[in-house]
Amino acid sequence: MEKVSMMINARKLFKDISDLPTIPAIVSKVVSMLDNQDANPDEIADLILSDQVLAARVIRVVNSPLYRTTNQISSVKRALLFIGFKSVREMILTSYFVEGFKQKDQPFDMKMFWMHSFSVGAISRRIARIVDFPDIEKAYLVGILHDIGKVFLGHYCKEGYGRMLASIRNTSYTTYEAEYEFFGTTHCEVGLCLAQRWNFPSVYCDVISYHHSSEMATEDPLLTAIVALADFYCLSHVTADSVAQASIPGRSEENAWNVFKQLATEKLPLSLEHFLSELDEEFETIKQEVDILFDTMTT
Ligand SMILES: [Fe+2]
Ligand SMILES: [Fe+2]
């Protein structure tokens, strides 16, 4: 498939859309400040406090069961110090993404979509930890965001996307292949357009764009492969995505495994199946985490 023509087709889909959910500029600014571990907590807290909705969101989430706080936290600065810059960054972006598409109707079950996204986030974090990836929260966040292109296609091309899903039900076609046939582009290119509109950091854009073709990723191929393997694990073990199903490794999973083996510094089992089966031990914990995250982010 030709990436350039797929990108051109993705851009065309965005052309006439006037009600695209936005992420406020202040949120992007806070997120990039939080990317810097040496940033000043007072400065970040002041910036968060200048947007009341954002400040309220940080306080609400930090006091949710997600972070198991024993005492109520009512100051933004304490929230930053308590859960850490990277967790606040991940929580802010996730909540704006969920909020943006909450009211946008879809031809698929959104609850299953979120469960899939949160599961991929949680599994990406586990895999990142296993291979000592330097930014575990980044793996978690980008795992949650990897399929954002599907919510765009589902909502803004609702009728065609519904027809496409019906046409591949009970077949071995993947959504990725069907999207290409129906729209001349896929949720990867569309997701990239959306991520660029929202000023996501370039590494997030790269993972969103290449999570079905890790061998083409340039910014951080290891991170892209981590998300690709987590995606495959979730489709075959954790939750059936309402939008796609895959239980045997295809070419894109084999490619992701090859990239992963080359770049991971830890000693890994010989086969992909072996590696993924190691995650089964934590399966129940991950499921509980995903349930809490889902309740916190969607209520
Ligand atoms: Fe995907
Ligand atoms: Fe996925």
Q: What is the 3-state secondary structure (H, E, C) of the chain?
A: CCHHHHHHHHHHHHCCCCCCCCCCHHHHHHHHHHCCCCCCHHHHHHHHHCCHHHHHHHHHHHCCCCCCCCCCCCCHHHHHHHHCHHHHHHHHHHHHHHHHHHCCCCCCCHHHHHHHHHHHHHHHHHHHHHCCCCCHHHHHHHHHHCCHHHHHHHHHCHHHHHHHHHHHCCCCCCHHHHHHHHHCCCHHHHHHHHHHHCCCCHHHHHHHHHCCCHHHCCCCHHHHHHHHHHHHHHHHHHCCCCCCCCCCCCHHHHHHHHHHHHHCCCCCCCCHHHHHHHHHHHHHHHHHHHHHHHHHHHC
CA of 262 to the centre of ligand 2 (A): 23
Token pair belonging to 81: 């110090």
Residues 171 and 230 in one domain: yes
Residues 63 and 141 in one domain: no
CA of 59 to the centre of ligand 1 (A): 31
Greater confidence, 240 or 160?
A: 160
Greater confidence, 251 or 41?
A: 41
CA of 73 to the centre of ligand 2 (A): 34
Residues 140 and 217 in one domain: yes
Our count of domains for the chain comes to 2
Q: Give the span between the Cα atoms of 140 and 143, in whole angstroms.
A: 5
Rounded mean pLDDT, 66-85: 87
Residues 111 and 92 in one domain: no
Residues 263 and 204 in one domain: yes
Q: Which residue has the tokens 């296993």?
A: 130
pLDDT score for 92: 86
CA of 232 to the centre of ligand 2 (A): 8
Q: Which residue has the tokens 């993947």?
A: 174
pLDDT tens by residue, 137-163:
889 989 999 999 999 999 999 999 999
Residues 83 and 30 in one domain: yes
Closest ligand relative to 187 C-alpha = 1
Residues 198 and 278 in one domain: yes
Closest ligand relative to 174 C-alpha = 1
The CB density around residue 51, as the number of other CB atoms within 10 Å, is 17
Residues 36 and 148 in one domain: no
Of 103, 128, 148, which closes a domain?
A: 103
CA of 15 to the centre of ligand 2 (A): 25
Q: Give the span between the Cα atoms of 98 and 61, in whole angstroms.
A: 13
CA of 172 to the centre of ligand 1 (A): 16
Token pair belonging to 198: 């929202």
Q: Which domain holds residue 125?
A: 3-21+105-298
Q: What is the CATH number of the domain that holds 272?
A: 1.10.3210.10
Question: Which parts of 13-119 are beta strand (E)?
Answer: none
CA of 271 to the centre of ligand 1 (A): 22
Closest ligand relative to 207 C-alpha = 1
- Transcribe 70-101 into DSSP letters: SS----HHHHHHHH-HHHHHHHHHHHHHHHHH
Greater confidence, 77 or 253?
A: 77
Rounded mean pLDDT, 40-63: 90
Greater confidence, 64 or 191?
A: 191
| Residue 32 pLDDT level (bands cut at 50, 70, 90) | confident
Of 80, 103, 126, which closes a domain?
A: 103
Q: What is the DSSP letter of 236?
A: I
Q: What is this structure's pTM?
A: 0.87
Residues 152 and 285 in one domain: yes
Residues 145 and 249 in one domain: yes
Residues 294 and 208 in one domain: yes
Residues 258 and 168 in one domain: yes
Of 59, 86, 103, which closes a domain?
A: 103
Average pLDDT taken over every residue of the chain: 87
| Residue 236 pLDDT level (bands cut at 50, 70, 90) | confident
Residues with CB under 5 A from ligand 1 (ion): 147
Closest ligand relative to 153 C-alpha = 1
| Residue 240 pLDDT level (bands cut at 50, 70, 90) | low
pLDDT score for 154: 95
Greater confidence, 258 or 149?
A: 149
Rounded mean pLDDT, 208-227: 94
